[in-house]
Amino acid sequence: MNKRVRFLPFIIISGFFLWAGCMKQENFSDVPFIGYQSFVGLYDTGHYPVYGVLTITFQDGNGDIGLDDGDIMPPFDTGSPYYYNFIIDYYEKQSGQFVKVDLDPPLSSRIPVLSPLYPGKPIKGIISDTLPLNPAPVFDTIKIEAFIYDRALNKSNVISTPEIILRRP
């Protein structure tokens, strides 16, 4: 057997460990941090937005973002403020001021567990959520504010979209 061929697996494995050792381990706070990335309207045939896609970036030092379907016991039960871990608030511009509107059902949602294979490790990424919008609103300018909770109930910073115009007269 050729000596080069016998050492090829050793060289590949050594190269992998050298590469992995050189990768910079990112350190983030254990309190999640989010950033606004975009809001894109999805329009119907009448040229009014029916849905909006909110996209945020996130990072978390211990990767404990997300809830399983079975996470319904306190503090994640349906009556708890922690049932939803992606809190989304809807505001309408009324008489020049943004006013929070409580929607039924709410826009808030549950982010699933993001790193089930690597618990306790730092994570970062992008989350997009599709939100239903009123295609014929009384007030045509809105904004969205959002934040997330991790499993330790740490609250992230709050992000806000710029003004969103739903329709033009």
pLDDT digit string, tens, across residues 27-78:
889 999 999 999 998 887 767 788 999 999 999 999 999 999 999 999 999 9
Give me the half-sphere count of Cα atoms (radius 13 Å) on the Cβ side of residue 106: 16
The residue type of 5 is V
How far does Cα 35 stand from its chain's mean position?
Answer: 9
31 — phi, psi (to 5°)? -90, 125
Q: Which of these, 124, 128, 126, 60, lies nearest to 88 by C-alpha position?
A: 128
What is the distance between the alpha carbons of residues 74 and 80, in angstroms, rounded to a whole number?
Answer: 7
CATH class of 27-165: mainly beta
How many angstroms separate the CA atoms of 32 and 28, rounded? 8
The pLDDT tens digits of the residues spanning 92-132 come to: 999 999 999 998 899 999 999 988 777 788 999 999 999 99
Residue in the structure block whose two tokens are 């992995």: 20
User: pLDDT tens digits for 134-162?
Assistant: 766 788 899 999 999 999 999 999 999 99
Residues near 8 by beta carbon (within 8 Å), at least 6 away in sequence: none
Cα 125 to Cα 2, 33, 94, 111, distances in angstroms: 45, 11, 34, 13
Indicate whether 14 pLDDT > 80. Answer: no
Put simply, whether the predicted model's pTM sits higher than 0.85 gets the answer no
| Mean per-residue pLDDT, 82-88 | 97
